[in-house]
Amino acid sequence: GLDILKQCYIALKNAKLHKLNGYAYFHPQMEEETTRRLDLVRRLRSDFLANKLEVWFQPQVSVNELKVTGFEALLRWPQADGSYIPPSEFIPLAEYSGLIVDIGAWVLEESCRALRELSTLCGRTLRMAVNVSIPQFRNLEFPNQVERVLQQYNIAEGRLELEITESIVMDDPTMVIEILKRLRSRGVGIAIDDFGVGFSSLNYIQQLPVSKLKIDRTFVQQANTSSGAVLVETISRMGQQLGLETIVEGIETVEQLNYFRQLKIAEAQGYIFAKPMPLAALKEMLELGQCSLSLLSTTPK
């Protein structure tokens, strides 16, 4: 009896998750999948507590001068065999289980510490972009956490940027706008990540205290089709007319870079400059390139 109840519960979860037509049959694979996910969450928790997670950094570059302007912090989960579980697989689990609240706080702190080191190395103030998830926003301590690390690492105004997605805003607009206002008043930049990919109303964009639009990689790939180009050009013009900074991510070729330069997009991020890498490798690369030249030739394999 207990087994059947458990299996019903798994099927029910599945029907809700996949928004099936109101019902789902139980299949043994569903149980295997649930067990696998639970196992991953357990391992993620213990690896986090054992300090085995890593924060890597990917440079952001000014399109005109090809100077490094900042970095995006990206979480990495190394495995014993040297491989990495992709963030697209474990971040949703970390969000679902609530683990992202503690992990996110740690990412924030590591990123600010790294920003200090990198700014010292380059002899000028740079910027650090950190991804934030919905459960972090729901945690009442979050704005205090941010203020604490800003103080602790003496991060100047405008140097820390939080990347949020449209779905965070739509989750609870009133609460999120309140928190964003508070963060902005402390000099924290807010970038809308994956802009244009969600289906949310454009109306919210002008009510939000955001400072930057981050044009998603899918638009870079579509820019060479005529309908794709219309979208890209509309988005970039809209950002500029609303007085927002703009950055494009996922730039891989010189043609793509030139295209966005001509659209007057200020900054870019992508494999053409550098892939995300550990802090030590990044420092080495910046030292070699004196933090300024095009990273095209110095990107490690």
Which residues in this chain contact ligand C2E in the complex, by CB under 6 A?
58, 73-75, 86-88, 91, 100, 104, 107, 131-133, 163, 193-194, 217, 249-252, 269-271, 276
Residue selected from 114, 119, 136, 163 as contacting Ca ion according to rule CB under 5 A:
163
Q: Which is nearer to ligand C2E, 161 or 194 (CB)?
A: 194
Q: Which is nearer to Ca ion, 194 or 267 (CB)?
A: 194
Pairing of strands 212-215, 189-195: parallel
Residue 19 CB, nearest distance to Ca ion (Å)? 25
193 binds Ca ion (CB under 5 A): yes
Check: CB of residue 148 under 8 Å from CB of residue 108. no
Q: Which is nearer to ligand C2E, 7 or 200 (CB)?
A: 200
Residue 110 contacts which entry, ligand C2E, Ca ion, none (Cβ below 5-8 A, type-dependent): none
267 binds Ca ion (CB under 5 A): no
Q: Which is nearer to ligand C2E, 126 or 130 (CB)?
A: 130
131 binds Ca ion (CB under 5 A): yes
Residue 241 CB, nearest distance to Ca ion (Å)? 22
Q: Which is nearer to ligand C2E, 166 or 193 (CB)?
A: 193
Residue 194 CB, nearest distance to Ca ion (Å)? 4
CA dist., res. 119 & res. 233, Å (int): 33
Please list, in sequence order, all residues whose beta carbon lies within 8 angstroms of the beta carbon of residue 143, skipping any fewer than 6 positions away.
Answer: 179, 182, 183
Residue 73 CB, nearest distance to ligand C2E (Å)? 6
58 binds Ca ion (CB under 5 A): no
Residue 202 CB, nearest distance to ligand C2E (Å)? 20
Residue 41 CB, nearest distance to ligand C2E (Å)? 15
Residue selected from 194, 215, 235, 257 as contacting Ca ion according to rule CB under 5 A:
194
Q: Which is nearer to Ca ion, 10 or 132 (CB)?
A: 132
Residue 205 CB, nearest distance to ligand C2E (Å)? 18
Other C-beta atoms within 10 Å of 219: how many? 23
Q: Which is nearer to ligand C2E, 104 or 289 (CB)?
A: 104
110 binds Ca ion (CB under 5 A): no
The DSSP line for the chain is: -HHHHHHHHHHHHHHHHTT-SS-----HHHHHHHHHHHHHHHHHHHHHHTT--EEEEEEEEETTT--EEEEEEEEEEE-TTS-EE-HHHHHHHHHHHSTHHHHHHHHHHHHHHHHHHHHHHHTS--EEEEE--HHHHHSTTHHHHHHHHHHHTTPPTT-EEEEEEHHHHHHSHHHHHHHHHHHHHTT-EEEEEEETTS---THHHHHS---EEEE-HHHHHHTTSHHHHHHHHHHHHHHHHTT-EEEEE---SHHHHHHHHHTT--EEESTTT---B-HHHHHHHHHHTTTTS-GGGT---
Stretch that binds Ca ion, among 36-44, 141-149, 156-164, 269-277 (CB under 5 A): 156-164
Which residues sit at the interface with Ca ion, rule CB under 5 A?
Answer: 131, 163, 193-194
